[in-house]
Amino acid sequence: MAELLLVRHGQAQSKARDAASYDSLSELGQLQARWLGDWLRQTNGHFDRVITGSLHRQRQTAEAMGYGGQREEDARWNELDYFGMSQAMEAQHGLPFPHSPDHFAEHAPQLFQAWQDGRLRDVEETCDAFMDRVRTALMDAAAPGGRVLVVTSGGVIGAVARQLLGLDVAGMTKVVLHVANSSTHRIEVIRGTPYLNGFNGMAHLAAPDRAHARTYV
């Protein structure tokens, strides 16, 4: 049996308009990650493995949590290329890049549907390729058994939920839009089958004086 705890990275540079500028934790993102690490150690903080993607914000989150010394790196846990896909969507279909959280909530469903339908040309990877890499990363992380901490991103967590719950792309989009920064998502693997056993855990942000730290973008 294996237990995986997927963590979305802390808040990044949410006002960025390209992938490179986005890929660093904000001051609040660092704090979210530290609070999460403290909470894990107060509850059940032992992990047999700690895995992150290769993105800077994912590595920073693991380090701020206090798990940087155990960290393995697997780029299959990297986020989908939302910025590149958005540029293709604007160029090929005239949908402007989102400039506010409300606009993002309108933009993402249209973008993901076009991606799923194969209507985005010249993007980093197809939707099917993305789903395949997330699936293999999940099963490879679970294969040795034990408790595994994985620091990843919202789109990847949405893809995991899609596969485990049998969601269509619209359902996956709703999940992605509600994955909070530094949230936890628990998966149990029993006899080789993964089950989603917890979604969007934010116990480390539950105190009233931490309400400001419950962010989604």
Q: What is the pLDDT of residues 119-157, one digit of tens each?
A: 999 999 999 999 999 999 999 999 999 999 999 999 999
* pLDDT greater than 90 at residue 50: yes
DSSP annotation of 212 reads G
Residues 173 and 151: their CA atoms lie apart, in Å, by: 20
Q: Average pLDDT, stretch 76-87?
A: 96
- The rounded mean pLDDT for the chain is 96
Whole-prediction pTM: 0.96
Q: In this structure, are residues 5 and 160 in contact, taking their beta carbons and an 8 Å threshold?
A: no
Over residues 53-74, the mean pLDDT reads 97
Q: What is the pLDDT of residue 100?
A: 84
Long-range CB pairs of 156-159 (<8 Å, 24+ gap) are: 156/6, 156/53, 156/77, 156/78, 156/79, 156/80, 157/6, 157/8, 157/185, 159/80, 159/130, 159/131, 159/134
Question: What's the confidence (pLDDT) of residue 18?
Answer: 83
| Mean pLDDT value across residues 3-15 | 95
Model confidence at 46: pLDDT above 90: yes
Is the pLDDT at 19 greater than 90, yes or no?
Answer: no
Share of the chain above pLDDT 70, in %: 100
Q: Tens digits of per-residue pLDDT, 184-198?
A: 999 999 998 999 999
Q: Which two tokens stand for residue 106?
A: 């309108």
Q: What is the mean pLDDT of residues 58-78?
A: 97
The pLDDT of residue 15 is above 90? no
All structural domains of the chain, each given as residue ranges with its CATH number in brackets, are 2-80+125-211 (3.40.50.1240)
